[in-house]
Amino acid sequence: MADWLLKIRLEKQLTQEQVAKLIGIPRTTYSSIEQGRRKPSVKNAMRIASVLQFDWTIFFKGQRRDMTL
């Protein structure tokens, strides 16, 4: 999970701290999700996807984000 989620965040020019604040979770939790050590809840997946503008279901389909923004 780390590569595609990190890429999207960097394309949006946001820090982990900024994304975490926007979705209302600790930065350490977001970092764990981005690094693939933790799966987000549906609620958090939807919030992350809303902030970073991608389809939230990608977290649960095992897909990789290879498409362009």
Residue 52 lies in a domain: yes
Question: Rounded to whole angstroms, how far apart are CA atoms 44 and 33?
Answer: 10
50: CATH: 1.10.260.40
Of 29, 2, 5, 27, nearest in space to 16 by CA: 27
In the chain, how many domains are there?
1
Phi-psi region of 24 (alpha: psi -120 to 50; beta: other; left: phi over 0): left
What is the predicted pLDDT for the residue at 61?
Answer: 80
Tens-digit pLDDT profile for residues 15-65: 999 999 999 999 999 999 999 999 999 999 999 999 999 999 998 886 455
Q: Please name the residues in contact with 68: beta carbons below 8 A apart, sequence gap of 6 or more.
A: none
32 close to 41: Cβ distance less than 8 angstroms: no
Residue 23 lies in a domain: yes
Residue 10 lies in a domain: yes
Task: Calculate what percentage of the chain has a pLDDT beyond 90.
Answer: 77
